[in-house]
Chains A and B, each alone.
Chain A
Amino acid sequence: MYLAPTLLVLAVVGGWPLARTIWFSLSDAYLGRAAEASFIGLDNYLLLAGDGEWWGAVWNTVVFAACSVTLETVLGIGIALVLNARFTGRGLVRAAVLVPWAIPLVVSAKMWAWMFNDLYGVINAGLAGLGLIDGPVAWLADPDLAMAAVVMTDVWKTTPFMAILVLAGLQMIPDDIYEAARVDGVHPVKVFFRITLPLVWPVLLVAVIFRTLDALRVFDLIYVMTSNSRDTASMSVFARQQMVNFGDLGYGSAASVLIVLIVGLVTVLWLMAGRVRLGAEGGR
């Protein structure tokens, strides 16, 4: 009974759009003519399964997620360890590190797009100045480099988030455990792998799940930097293009439903893997 208002709100803002999307994905709905749509079963999904462009988008997304989350995690742990140490001006540095995270995504994406610009971009100018490149590099147009540029921008923006989450985990480890390790004569590298990492692991697991889910749904960053380019288009960019540019509401909805399923599957797999890993840790 007390849950009724909450459930009602959830149904209106969550359930209804979801149900509509699932319905459209099973229909031949077109933008502007959604009301005339008729049920066509799994045709949209079958079409998707044979669509190379869709699988390209899936692959792009997976590469983007894997690369950016890995880099962010490693860099985030490194920065968190530095921020967890005692030094003068630590508060200021902690605040400064958060700046990229505080900038709206579209702004930082646009900023990096300009920096990566082949003719006026500061990155090419810098590299040329150092004599590392002969002519301008087309960062965002070159199929091989575009993904790297997008990943780099995401890493720049999101590493602080990772660092702060890991820092929170590090600060929960009491100092005297490290002191006990000092008395035990444990080498600092071993302290990191045998004490710090296992103790910060649960926090890390949650942080990586957050980031992975975000990365799998990535849209704005890629759309702002490289528009609909096939070389970098993510699953979300693909779905938007089908629905808005091509007006194929049914096909786009099918892609959207698949995104939800894939993200859900990854989450479940990751949680299970994490639990197995934790269990193994405990068994030793």
Chain B
Amino acid sequence: MAQVRLEGVAKRFGPVSALADITETMADGELTVILGPSGCGKSTLLRVIAGLDEATAGRIFIGDRDVTDLPPAKRDIAMVFQSYALYPHMTVFDNMAFGLKLAGRSRAAVRAKVEEAAKLLRIDGLLDRKPRALSGGQRQRVAMGRALVREPQVFLFDEPLSNLDAALRVEMRFEIAALQKQLGATMVYVTHDQVEAMTLADRILVMRDGRVEQSGAPLDIYRRPVNRFVAGFLGTPGMNFIDGRIVDRGENGLGIALGDGGWIDLPLAAETRLAGEVIQVGGRPEDLMVEKERDDGKHGGVRLSAEVLLVERLGAETHLHLSVAGGRRIIARVGGETSLRQGETVRVSASVDVLHLFDVSGDRIAPVG
């Protein structure tokens, strides 16, 4: 196994820039997820690592080798494609054995290798079948088997689960994670599904418009997103954003005016230089507390009234769609047994230290939270 190191990698398709100056290291034995919306360049990045697309600039290292100018077959990688890309006219066995046979391995060695991988993936009963006689999940396993038998330094996955139904996706997700731990393999995994990213990754790269916006451990990114885009992309339902303006109240410290009477106390007496700045306040649905409106003056630093537009009861939890001052809609996630009803006026509060503040350009305001 080996690490993958990218140094200033860029990719242009004619006048269009698909990847811009990416410098990242995907550590040995870790599963790195490249996450982003469609068109962000995540698949292109994977294809550049695989050698299926050529980098326009920069160097790519696998282990200590500079593989930038090598063809895919010489890079010591294996790739699992979104559509599985199985050879339709070959049996499962031949699909897995094809590359090995052509590499000149002995029949017995090929057979042993394929059978070992098949057993590991529990497809050893299917070796004589053609791909069209397999279910989606089985094809997925064959595609993984084809990658396994190559014994590559790095496994590359291009949205491998997106063609499976929800239940199978959860199962295969678990199996990929287990396989990765078992083999101690270096894996690079592209997906647009943030649940897959959060659950599988040792490390996530969040991409947008051909750039890496943030990289780090899943929970670090979730808790401390560097900008509004990353904050909004991770989490379902997504983070809520409300416009506000920082106000200096002298001795009473700083606060954020949310318009229409909403108010947040900020415990930041020292940061008066922020006064007057227009900002966005972000709060995750699970961090918001919603109560029936009572005028007892206690509000834990946050004072915001809202009207309940819709109550979605999911059993274990309830999603409240709220309309706050200025007509902006937010979603709060509360317990499954809430007594709140549509049309009620409620008070939204939150502890200040779980809120995220972003400036007008969307960057996180460092001193807060």
Contact = CB atoms under 8 A, between A and B. Distances in A.
Given A177-B85, A179-B52, A184-B150, 19 more contacts: A176-B81, A176-B85, A179-B81, A180-B79, A182-B51, A182-B52, A183-B72, A183-B73, A183-B77, A183-B78, A184-B146, A185-B72, A186-B73, A186-B98, A186-B102, A187-B102, A194-B98, A195-B87, A199-B88
Contacts of A194: 98
5 contacts: A180-B146, A182-B71, A182-B73, A183-B79, A187-B102
B81 A180 contact: yes
B98 A184 contact: yes
Contacts of B196: none
A51 interface: no
Interface string A171-207: 0001011011111111100100011001100000000
Contacts of A181: 87
A284 B81 CA distance: 25
B87 A185 contact: no
Range for the number of chain A residues in contact with chain B? 20 to 34
Interface string B56-78: 00000000000000011110011
A281 to B, nearest CB: 6
Given A174-B83, A176-B83, A183 B50 contact: yes
B102 A184 contact: yes
Interface in A239-284: 281-282, 284
B74 A185 contact: yes
Nearest to A173: B88
A180 B89 contact: no
Looking at B51, B87, B94, the one whose CB has the most chain A CB atoms below 10 A away is B87
B99 A184 contact: yes
Interface of A is mostly: helix
Contact of B85 (A174, A185, A281): A174
A176 B17 CA distance: 23
Contacts of B102: 184-187, 190
Contacts of B150: 184
B79 to A, nearest CB: 5
Looking at A183, A190, A195, A282, the one whose CB has the most chain B CB atoms below 10 A away is A183
Interface in B4-47: none
B83 A184 contact: no
Interface residues of B, number: 26
Contacts of B82: 176
A189 to B, nearest CB: 11
Interface of B: 50-52, 71-74, 77-79, 81-83, 85-89, 94, 98-99, 102-103, 130, 146, 150
Contacts of A179: 52, 72, 79, 81, 85
Contacts of B89: 195, 198-199, 281-282
A282 B72 contact: no
Contacts of B51: 182
Contact of A184 (B52, B73, B88, B130): B73
A184 B103 CA distance: 9
Looking at A185, A190, A281, A282, the one whose CB has the most chain B CB atoms below 10 A away is A185
A282 B94 CA distance: 11
A284 B95 CA distance: 12
Contacts of A195: 87, 89
A186 B97 CA distance: 12
B81 A185 contact: no
A183 B155 CA distance: 11
Contacts of B78: 183
A194 B83 CA distance: 20
A282 B99 CA distance: 18
A182 B72 contact: yes
A180 B85 CA distance: 6
Contact of A284 (B52, B72, B86, B94): B94
Contacts of B86: 177, 180
A111 B77 CA distance: 57
Contacts of B71: 182, 185
Contacts of A180: 79, 81, 85-87, 146
Nearest to B88: A199
A85 to B, nearest CB: 16
B49 to A, nearest CB: 11
Interface string A135-167: 000000000000000000000000000000000
Nearest to B89: A198
A108 B87 CA distance: 42
B99 A186 contact: yes
A80 B81 CA distance: 26
B130 A185 contact: no
A283 to B, nearest CB: 9
A128 B75 CA distance: 56
A177 to B, nearest CB: 5
Nearest to B77: A183
Nearest to B147: A183
The 9 nearest A-B residue pairs measured at CB: A185-B73, A184-B99, A176-B85, A180-B85, A198-B89, A183-B72, A176-B81, A182-B72, A183-B79
Contact of A185 (B79, B103, B146): B103
